[in-house]
Amino acid sequence: MEKLEAHQKGLLHRAFSVFVTNAKGELLLQQRALDKYHSGGLWTNTCCSHPLPDEDVLTASHRRLMEEMGFDCELKEVFSFTYRAEFTNGLTEYEYDHVLIGQFDGEVRPDPAEVMSCKFASPDEIRYLMLTAPETFTHWFHIAFPKMAAFIER
């Protein structure tokens, strides 16, 4: 089914979250466009979305990274998790989320329909922001980032 229908019915479905770092070990964050159907204006990982029917997660991750952020890079899946979050607009995310990591140091060209802003930030800066302003981050980022930080800080 379409992702919006899955979110309306609160059904478990596949998703992915891409975390891209630079050579300094900083994570590329994106601030979701305000008119996204949920979590608009919140900060999150570099790219996240859903595979198309019969599309594998790695292919989908490369496709959406290019569509959302205007670049592509080598990606590797590092873990997955399941979570459920209900939003005030009646939608529910109930996702089996594959988490991938990559590195990129080139030009980022985000699609303004998807991304309001983006920036590189160190894991320590992100931890501080998550402690002082947790409401400015997406629900899934609060789950994925602490696990992902171990991979970023290696």
Catalytic residue numbers?
A: 48, 95
- C-alpha distances in Å from residue 130, one per residue of 29, 31, 46, 75, 127: 13, 14, 16, 25, 5
Distance CA(42)–CA(106), nearest Å, equals: 24
**Count of beta carbons in the 10 Å neighbourhood of residue 73:** 18
Contact criterion met (CB below 8 Å) for 31 and 43: yes
Q: Per this entry, what is the length of the chain? A: 154
Query: Which residue type sits at 38?
Result: H
Contact criterion met (CB below 8 Å) for 121 and 46: no
Query: Which residue type sits at 136?
Result: T
**Count of beta carbons in the 10 Å neighbourhood of residue 47:** 28
